[in-house]
Amino acid sequence: MSTPPSTILVVDDDTHVRFMLRTLLRQEEPVLLEAGSAIEALTLLEQHQVDLILLDVVLPDQDGFTVCARLRDDPRWREVPILFLTSLNDHASRLQGLNVGADGFISKPFDHGELLAQVRTIMRLNRYRHLLNEQKRFVRLIQLAPDGIAVLDSQGRFVLVNPALVQLLGVMSETQLRGTPFSAFLPPDGLERYHACMQRLIAKQEQTLRTELLIQNSQGTAIAVELSMGCVADIQGEQVQLILRDITARKQAEAQIQRQLAQLTSLHSMGVAITASLDLRHILARLLENIGNQLGVDACAILLLNQQSGTLELAASHGLDLPDDADLLLHSDEGLAGMVFQAERPLAETQYAQQTWPNPRDRLLATRFASYFALPLRARGEVQGVLELFLLQPFSPDHVWWLYVEALAVQAAIAIHTAMLFEQLQLSSAELTHAYNATIEGWSRALDLRDHETEGHSLRVTDLTMQLARAMGVTGEDLEHIRRGSLLHDIGKMGIPDSILLKPGPLSAAEWEVMRQHPTYAYEWLAMIPFLQQTLIIPYGHHEKWDGTGYPRGLKGEAIPLAARIFSVVDVWDALRSQRSYRPAWSDERTLEYIKERAGSHFDPAVVAAFVRLIGSCCQR
Ligand code: C2E
Ligand code: SIN
Ligand code: SIN
Ligand code: FE
Ligand code: FE
């Protein structure tokens, strides 16, 4: 740690004395402040951080003792060293000086050597005190920091740990951690990442590194953290500083989004299948087609139990072409399929064609196929039916084939179970829509949650965007897409690290680069989901500008989708009127002025005109 040059205040009304001191102290290179009176001295002290005061005893306005006593009374200057400028034999002054708190004396006429020795001693003490203060401040900062902070030695063992980290790691006290390696809190995959980071730091490939990983605290709880690492050199050698930020909440929000995305997708595909046919048979037929293709069997069938009649009915088949004959209907204990159903065990009949079967269905099928395999279809502990596979040629499956078939049977059973549930529930398309909307709203709330200051932002902008869109003549389905798009407009911010998203000040160029990715992230995530194609127009397009200077695509004018042009006005309206970590909230008037000024540059003028009318009519109420 380098110390700044010392600042010395010389207080003497004799300009000759000041000149002498200036000359003598030159080689110490201090910042020299000069005052000719007590008043001037106090003014300078108010304005500067002073390390040493050289004080004359006789001043025009006040005597030096009074000044000294006054400084010692004020906590701001109590610690500043004060040397009196006195003549060598003035014992009375020296005594009085000590009484009012002087640190020493410099004799007039000045002896160069004595002066420098005195000043240097005091300065050294001073620097030491500076360091101590600095260290105290630093330690206090670390103690109070909400992030976990630690210093590790070159072996990766804890040297210094702050209370937040003690808590995060779930240990009793700092002493318990000292000497323990940080790696003790890392599960295997985290450990690998951490070692890789360490190596890059030590090899000086990197000054600081940031990564996200899971740590495991002493209670065995896994905690997601953002880990920043940096090298610090110390007298004890290389050390590494760690900063750990708990990002569990953010990770949970992200995981929730992933889950909901999966739910939404499966809801949707169910919805499509159900509304397209409202028929389980249709779903099963597609499933069998897949099985037939993947297993290379010549035919397959699914028999499902009909609860009312107690029979196994052919629900779907692929490559069977059975005559539509009631004789082929099986009671749930008849035939090979019935056996499999009752026993709940798979069956392999590699000699299918060589035998005479008691059941007419088997007899018929055995004339066509050489091998027969059947598996119970079981989901949630309940057997629903039987999956049958037929091959034209004799076939002896191996272990791996069976594993694969069983996995497929499980998949089929689950699909059947779910589809049946849906059928039972008679899930109408209105209910499905409701389920989507509930999911998207929950999703949007999770997004707002991440950025505390913008809570409710998504709902507010959605409300207003809908009003504006209606005012501009948007109707029907398009309105619904706009609604969902608004709710999810900043979903891409999930990809922006907290350190940037929540930064309490303007962003640096590099941080902007990251921030400007958020519409692209939204596109990358949502584009994969067919039914969100219309929804992603706003998340992807809401930072485009009318004059083409926006991002990420730099679209211009009507090349920007109308929904995005409408939304961007409302987004800026709401953003500016909300307090942000980097600026206070703006008034309605100022914000409206801002938007009007930018009609034709940032915003579509037609949208701004409609917006001004809309806001005007709201405000008059
Ligand atoms: P956001 O806060 O939702 O802001 C949306 C848009 O409203 C901004 O898009 C911008 O057009 C407008 N806006 C918001 N605050 C201000 C402001 O203080 N002055 C002006 N003139 N316009 C404002 P933009 O600029 O593309 O920013 C996108 C996102 O980037 C913002 O979303 C916010 O999350 C973030 N951001 C922007 N500036 C800063 C900043 O200085 N510090 C931090 N930490 N984040 C920022
Ligand atoms: C959000 O995070 O969902 C809203 C943040 C914003 O638009 O400023
Ligand atoms: C800002 O861009 O943050 C402030 C703009 C203004 O004060 O007009
Ligand atoms: Fe945005
Ligand atoms: Fe926004």
Confidence band (pLDDT; 50, 70, 90) for 557? Answer: very high
> If DSSP codes are grouped into helix, strand and coil, which group holds residue 473?
coil
What residue owns the CA closest to ligand 2's atom 7? 490
What residue owns the CA closest to ligand 1's atom 12? 572
The Cα-based distances of 333 to 102, 307, 313, 385 in angstroms read 109, 14, 12, 12
Which one-letter amino acid corresponds to residue 553? R
How many angstroms separate the alpha carbon of residue 482 from the centre of ligand 2? 16
Q: What is the pLDDT of residue 571?
A: 96
Q: What is the pLDDT of residue 125?
A: 66
Backbone angles phi, psi at 301, to 5 degrees: -150, 155
- For the ranges 69-83, 423-437, 602-616, which has the lowest average pLDDT? 423-437
> Can you name the CATH fold of 145-246?
Beta-Lactamase (3.30.450)
Residue with tokens 């004059």: 547
**If you average pLDDT over each of 207-221, 354-368, 462-476, which comes out highest?**
462-476
How many angstroms separate the alpha carbon of residue 198 from the centre of ligand 1? 36
Higher pLDDT, 309 or 67: 67
What residue owns the CA closest to ligand 1's atom 42? 506
Residue with tokens 């009752």: 342
For residue 29, is it left (φ>0), alpha (ψ between -120 and 50) or beta?
Answer: left
Mean pLDDT over 359-374 rounds to 93
Confidence band (pLDDT; 50, 70, 90) for 390? Answer: very high
The ligand with the least distance to the CA atom of 575 is 1
448 lines ligand 2 (CB under 6 A): yes
Instruction: Please give the distance of CA 227 from its chain centroid, rounded to a whole number.
Output: 13
- For the ranges 349-358, 493-502, 533-542, which has the lowest average pLDDT? 493-502
- For the ranges 33-47, 186-200, 562-576, which has the lowest average pLDDT? 186-200
Q: What is the pLDDT of residue 202?
A: 79
Q: What is the DSSP string of 138-154?
A: HHHHHHH-SSEEEEE-T
507 lines ligand 1 (CB under 6 A): yes
Q: What is the pLDDT of residue 431?
A: 53
3-state SS, one letter per residue, for 289-351: HHHHHHHCCCEEEEEEEECCCCEEEEEEEECCCCCCCHHHCEECCCHHHHHHHHHCCCEEECC
d(C-alpha 599, C-alpha 290), whole Å? 55
d(C-alpha 474, C-alpha 223), whole Å? 46
Confidence band (pLDDT; 50, 70, 90) for 425? Answer: very low
Q: What is the pLDDT of residue 447?
A: 65
d(C-alpha 348, C-alpha 325), whole Å? 26
590 lines ligand 1 (CB under 6 A): no
Calculate helix-pair angle for 588-597, 562-577, nearest 10 degrees: 140
Higher pLDDT, 268 or 127: 127
Residue with tokens 């809190």: 185
Measuring CA to CA, which residue among 22, 7, 13 is closest to residue 77? Answer: 7
Confidence band (pLDDT; 50, 70, 90) for 387? Answer: very high
**CB-count burial class (<10 Å; 0-12, 13-18, 19+) for 409:** buried
d(C-alpha 101, C-alpha 242), whole Å? 44
Mean pLDDT over 559-583 rounds to 93
Give first-to-last CA distance, the chain, whole Å: 63
Q: What is the pLDDT of residue 97?
A: 82
d(C-alpha 534, C-alpha 517), whole Å? 20
The Cα-based distances of 421 to 274, 407, 413, 425, 426 in angstroms read 11, 21, 12, 6, 8
Q: What is the pLDDT of residue 419?
A: 66
Whether 212 contacts 226, CB under 8 Å: yes
Count CB neighbours of 373 within 10 A: 25
Average model confidence (pLDDT) for the chain? 82
Per-residue pLDDT at 430 exceeds 60? no
Per-residue pLDDT at 342 exceeds 70? yes
d(C-alpha 480, C-alpha 466), whole Å? 9
| Most informative mutation of 576, 578, 583, 591 for ligand 1 (most atoms within 8 A of CB) | 576
Query: What's the CATH architecture for 431-620?
Result: Orthogonal Bundle (1.10)
Residues at Cβ < 5 Å from ligand 4 ion: 490
d(C-alpha 196, C-alpha 182), whole Å? 14
- For the ranges 24-33, 102-111, 260-269, 591-600, which has the lowest average pLDDT? 260-269
d(C-alpha 45, C-alpha 587), whole Å? 42
d(C-alpha 528, C-alpha 602), whole Å? 30
The 52-56 sheet, strands edge to edge: 31-35, 7-11, 52-56, 82-87, 104-108
Per-residue pLDDT at 164 exceeds 50? yes
Whether 7 contacts 49, CB under 8 Å: yes
> Can you name the CATH fold of 7-141?
Rossmann fold (3.40.50)
**CB-count burial class (<10 Å; 0-12, 13-18, 19+) for 565:** buried
> Can you name the CATH fold of 254-423?
Beta-Lactamase (3.30.450)
The ligand with the least distance to the CA atom of 501 is 1
The Cα-based distances of 602 to 17, 489, 512, 556, 616 in angstroms read 66, 18, 18, 10, 21
How many angstroms separate the alpha carbon of residue 595 from the centre of ligand 2? 19
List of residues 6+ apart from 609 with CB closer than 8 A: 599
Domain ranges of the chain: 7-141, 145-246, 254-423, 431-620
- For the ranges 22-31, 115-124, 150-159, 536-545, which has the lowest average pLDDT? 115-124
Same topology for domains 145-246 and 254-423, yes or no? yes
3-state SS, one letter per residue, for 498-560: HHHHCCCCCCCHHHHHHHCCHHHHHHHHHCCCHHHCCCCHHHHHCCCCCCCCCCCCCCCHHHC
Sign of CA dihedral 424, 428, 432, 434: negative
Measuring CA to CA, which residue among 479, 453, 565 is closest to residue 557? Answer: 565
* Segment 439-449, tens digit of pLDDT: 666 666 666 66
Per-residue pLDDT at 20 exceeds 60? yes
Whether 223 contacts 168, CB under 8 Å: yes
Instruction: Please give the number of the atom of ligand 1 that sits closest to the Cα of 602.
Output: 11
d(C-alpha 318, C-alpha 289), whole Å? 6
**If you average pLDDT over each of 92-101, 380-389, 454-463, which comes out highest?**
380-389
Q: What is the pLDDT of residue 273?
A: 46
The ligand with the least distance to the CA atom of 491 is 2
Mean pLDDT over 264-292 rounds to 61
The 330-331 sheet, strands edge to edge: 330-331, 311-318, 299-306, 382-391, 371-379, 347-349
Q: What percent of the chain has pLDDT over 70?
A: 81
> What predicted TM-score, i.e. pTM, was given to this entire model?
0.44
Higher pLDDT, 437 or 293: 293
b/e map of 171-206 (b: 16 or more CB within 10 Å)?
Answer: beeeeebeeeebeebbeeebeeebeebbeebeeeee
What residue owns the CA closest to ligand 2's atom 4? 448
Output the six-digit token pair for 235. Answer: 């007298």
How many angstroms separate the alpha carbon of residue 261 from the centre of ligand 5? 21
